[in-house]
Amino acid sequence: MTEYSRMVKGRFVSTGGAQIINLPFQPDYVEFINYTAAASGADNGVPMAWWDVNMGQNVAVIDRFQAANQLTTDTVDANGISTFSAGLSFQYGASQVVGGITKASPAIVTVTGHGYTSGDVVIFQNLYESATTGMPQIAGIPFTVTVIDANSFSIPWNTNQTNYTAITGGATGSPTVKKVLYPYLYAPGVSIISAITTGTTTTIDTTDAHNFVVGQEVAIRMPQVPGVSPLAWGDARYNSLPNAVIPGSPIYAYVIAVTDYNTVVLNINSTGYSAYNSNIPVANVSGLQYPQIVAVGDVNTGGVQISSGSALYPPPFTRPIANVTVNSINGPAIQGAFFNNTSQGFIIGAGASQGDASAILIGAVSDVIYWRAFLHDMSIPS
């Protein structure tokens, strides 16, 4: 039967790590061809793989080369192929021990064998070096990571300030970090501000991907920190409310340029505004509220373009890090204040075959992989 079946195909270039494929459905059957591995015929290559929902999650049946151009069959029993639905899954990964955070801009974080990929979003907990020092000012903030190596990554925040104390292996707070598995369930979402550059226009840096487009209407929330001088976080005139000129009418701004995944330029003339200040004392962390930039309005300038060579039904997308675009599961839409980006689909993991630990399901970096996924009308019981 094919009346209600769904099928889709695609390709990607392997990064060597798990590959997430967003779809408008959760498939019950997945197969792929690693064209690069098939063409080389090299020992340990995995040219083809298959998965059926009745096998269970995180497994796969594979072909692999046991010697040059000599195929055999095998299985992957962990970190294989699996399906996911963000609305029904855990929202956080496992907690990992933070070995250290430097005083720097950007701050460098040490986590042994973190397993993160640039563009992942993480949050920290228990960032105390002692009872009264450390970096609890940034605990609970979602940060986009830029991976440096297997044991370290950077986060977009200036910790090289007087009220921050470096986190070391002797920290008393048992500092931890965990990955936010589905950080953009709604986009553009709400982003925390990490820095502001004043002038005839205003440049905003955020801690994670803002996902704004040019023409986006936005509001700024700039809470104050009682007892802190000079003014922190920033000038109260950024606040969308209250509006001293037109009471009851929010003060909004427009995005006039998108510099990067976490930097935008707004049409706010902030000449003469007080400087942004993220040097918050540890003593003021309790009840701390963070400055935010948030999309507003119903319909904004711009949209998903349909033109020669484009997809027939181009979906809205998110941009979790520079030069990376992730399509949503939606059809074409105006880039308005928000779109529903609830994720679902399947994941090809980086598990090893049972017969040869060096045969990796996802293949090597730069391998070209073609995949197909299906959701069948019915499954006939045995």
- Asked whether residue 311 carries a pLDDT value surpassing 50, the answer given is yes
Round to whole Å and give the CA distance between 231 and 210: 25
pLDDT at position 301, please?
Answer: 44
Q: Distances in Å between the alpha carbon of 209 and those of 117, 138, 142, 183, 354?
A: 14, 17, 10, 9, 38
The whole-number pLDDT of residue 304 equals 63
Considering only CA atoms, which of 348, 351, 369 is closest in space to residue 47?
369
- Average the pLDDT over 114-143 and give the result: 95
Q: What is the mean pLDDT of residues 130-154?
A: 96
Q: What's residue 42's pLDDT?
A: 94
C-beta of residue 42 within 8 angstroms of C-beta of residue 34:
no
> What SS3 string covers the chain?
CCCCCEEEEEEEECCCCCEEEECCCCCCEEEEEEHHHHHHCCCCCCCEEEEEHHHCCCEEEEEEEEECCEEEEEEEEEEEEEEEEHHHCCCECCCEECCEECCCCCEEEECCCCCCCCCCEEEEECCECCCCCECHHHCCCCEECEEEECCEEEECCCCCCCCCCCECCCCCCCCEEEEECCCCCEECCEEEEEEEECCCCEEEEECCCCCCCCCCEEEEECCCCCCCCCCCECCHHHCCCCCCCCCCCCCCEEEEEEEECCEEEECCCCCCCCCCECCCCHHHCCCCCCCEEEECCCCCCCCCCCCCCCCCCCCCEEEEECCEEEECCCCCCCCCCCEECCCEEEEECCCECCCCCCCECCCCCCCEEEEEEEECCCCCCC
**Mean pLDDT taken over the chain:** 89
What is the mean pLDDT of the segment spanning 123-149? Answer: 96
Amino acid at 200: T
Higher local confidence (pLDDT), 243 or 259: 259
Domain boundaries, the chain: 6-85+344-375, 96-180, 188-295
CATH number for the region 188-295 comes to 2.40.30.180
pLDDT tier at 112, thresholds 50, 70, 90: very high
What's the pTM?
0.80
Q: What percent of the chain has pLDDT over 90?
A: 66
- pLDDT tens, 326-346? 877 777 766 667 777 778 899
In this predicted model, what pLDDT tens digit does every residue of 185-231 receive, in sequence order? 888 889 999 999 999 999 999 999 999 988 888 999 999 887 776 66
Terminal alpha carbon distance of the chain? 18
Residue 299 reports pLDDT greater than 50: no
Confidence of residue 252 (pLDDT cuts 50, 70, 90): very high
**Domain 96-180 shares a fold with domain 188-295:** yes
Comparing CA positions, the residue from 352, 299, 291 lying closest to residue 58 is: 352
Q: What CATH topology corresponds to 96-180?
A: Elongation Factor Tu (Ef-tu); domain 3 (2.40.30)
pLDDT at res. 81: 97
For 164-195, the pLDDT digits (tens) are 999 997 777 799 999 998 898 888 889 999 99
